[in-house]
Structures are given as C-alpha cells and as structure tokens.
Amino acid sequence: MILRIPVLFLFLSLAFSSCRDEAYRVEFNELDTGTDASIRALHVVSDDIVWASGSGGTFLVTDDGGESWTSGTVSGAGSDDFRNIHAWNEKEALLFGISYPGRAYYTSDAGDTWEMVYENNTEGIFFNSLNFADDNRGMALSDPVDSSSFVIHTEDRGQSWERLEAMPLLAEGEYNFAASNSCIDYHADGNAWIITGGQAARVFISHDHGKSWMARETGLIHGNESSGVFSVSFIDEKEGIVVGGTYDEPALNDKVAAWSEDGGYSWQEAKIMPRGFRSCVIWMNRGEKRLAFAIGKTGCDYSGDGGRTWLAGSDVKDYYTARAVTGTLKGYAAGAGGRIASFEMVK
C-alpha cells in the first residue's frame, strides 16, 4: 500500500497534466455575410479565400478572410438549395443542388456567370455531398436510386460526370444526410469513404477511386429517419472519425461518435462522447499537433486523441458545418440565418 500511493499520485498527476495540455478554448468570430440563407456548404481555399452556399440558390465568396463578401443567386436556380460546394481559388467553384432535377453549376469568374455542367432527371435524385480528392478527381453523392447509393465521378474538374456502378445495396430506409456536405471523404491515393443513416449507420469503403466498395458497420445510433452517421473525415488512409446522432433530439449523446485506425474496417465508440448531435467532423493540424473538431446545432467539441475522448468546445448555436484552414488550428463554420464565423483553437 505504501508503494501504491505515490504511483497512483503520479498516474493522476500525469493524467491531469495531459488533460491540461490538451485543453483549448474555441474563439468564434461571427462574420457579417449580408444574407439570411441557410448555409450548409463551405469550402476553405485558404485563410483568406472562402466559398459558401445554401438555400435560395445562394453562393458567397470572400478573398479577405470574411471582412467582405460577394454574394448572389445562380441564374435560374433561385429555388434550389446548394448544400454541396467545391472551390479551387477565388474565381473557380462548383455547386450541386438538392432540388429535382439534380444539377451542378460551375463558375470561373467568381460567380458573375455560372455554367450548368451536369443535369439528371432520374426520379429520386437529391445530391447530399460533394468531395474532390485533388484538382481533377471528385465524387458527388445523391439519395438512393434503384436501392443503392447514386454516386457520380469526375476526372476533369467537374466538367463531365459518370455514375459509379459498383455501390453496395442499401437496406430499406438507409440513406444519406445533406446536413454539412461531409457524407464523402475522398483522398488522392484512391481511398474514399461514404457514410449512411436512417435504418443503418454504415461506412462504404473504396481503395480504387470508387470502382469497388465494401460496407462496414460503425455502431452509431440509427433506426429512424432522423438518426445515423452524418459526417466522416479521415486524416490519412488509416485514421478516421464518424459523428452523427439524432438531429431532432440534439441533446442525446449516446453512440454519436466513433473512431477507426484501420481505414474504416472496424470502428470503436468514443469513450467520452461529444455533448450531443454533431453534423460535421473535421481534422485540424499545425505541425505535429492534430485535433478533431465536431460541430452541430447546439455547439462544438474537440478531441486531441483521434476521437477516443471529446472535450467541450463552445455552445455556439445553429452552426451545421465547418472546414479547417490547412496547416493551422483555424477554421470557418456556417449554419442557419446566413451564419458564417471564423474560429481558432487557442491554448
């Protein structure tokens, strides 16, 4: 017993020190966007260049870190809701809407003009997510068609698209959520992950740019139309996180986050969960420091251990999506009522 006391004390001291070292505060700076559109899609090109899109056919772009915004409506698409966006620079961007028929628009002049580069009249088309692996290769995901996820692929910067035919069959009532444009994560090495919700909470994995897929269970809450996996993010080919929950009961935090260290083949529940429903998860890194950040309509949380445990961030309300500034512990978040904020993880 005499020997155990200092050992236990040392263990607790180290544990406390570790928690203290990992403690951050999240500093939010809400920006004046000049719009009240609901914004569910963000793309952060750099600290200064940010694109966003949302309801009412709205798009926004800033090249000065949010001090000023150029906003507008895509001509002929005023009734669409652009929940999917990718941008290459301050001039070039691509949008997918959720309305029927499914359409995509491309601009090369900062939104002065938009060209329709995709249209699909298939019944049930509803695009949930868009992600590019590099400047040329991208995937876009729609609600199910013919009992499987409808995924299209481009290799020419979004100018032409082809359907990926090898998607696994979905369970009845299994689908995807258009909450934060993060149902897909797609890497330049060909690895891709797509997540589902509803009557299942699975991740589909591809190692060959979507030519073949396999399905794995995540263990997150599911079983009704408002629950499941809402977001997936991998920092490399092995280490990834999924978050979700039940969006109409956001305070519930049972089985709302899981982590993988084998590329998504197996998933482990977080030991300490985020504080409730989270619709988006991202990775942030500065040098060797890596943090995971999750946000939803009731607040945000962060993890310094790859999603094993989550710490309270901020109680900011009505933010649904976020993206990091590459190589920093800074990012941008967006949500209801035209909300866009810059934020930073600060010791």
Residue 22: per-residue pLDDT: 73
- How many Å apart are CA 33 and CA 71, to the nearest integer? 8
Q: Whole-number mean pLDDT of the chain? A: 93
The dihedral formed by the CA atoms of 60, 158, 327 and 268, expressed in degrees to the nearest 10: 110
b/e 53-79 (16+ beta carbons within 10 angstroms → b): bbbbbbbbbbbebbeebebbbbeebee
Say how far residue 1 (Cα) sits from the centre of its chain: 50
Residue 19: per-residue pLDDT: 42
Q: Report the candidate in 326, 284, 332, 67 with the shortest Cα–Cα distance to residue 180.
A: 332
pLDDT tens-digit readout, 158-202: 999 999 999 999 999 999 999 999 999 999 999 999 999 999 999
Q: How confident is the model at residue 15 (pLDDT cuts 50, 70, 90)?
A: very low
* Stronger pLDDT, 300 or 12, i.e. the higher one: 300
* Contacts by 60-64, CB closer than 8 A, 24 or more apart: 60/33, 60/35, 60/340, 61/87, 61/90, 61/93, 61/110, 61/111, 63/90
pLDDT higher than 90, residue 17: no
Q: How confident is the model at residue 4 (pLDDT cuts 50, 70, 90)?
A: very low
User: Residue 171 gets which letter from DSSP?
Assistant: P
Q: Do residues 278 and 231 lie in contact, with contact meaning Cβ atoms separated by under 8 Å?
A: yes
pLDDT tens-digit readout, 233-280: 999 999 999 999 999 999 999 999 999 999 999 999 999 999 999 999
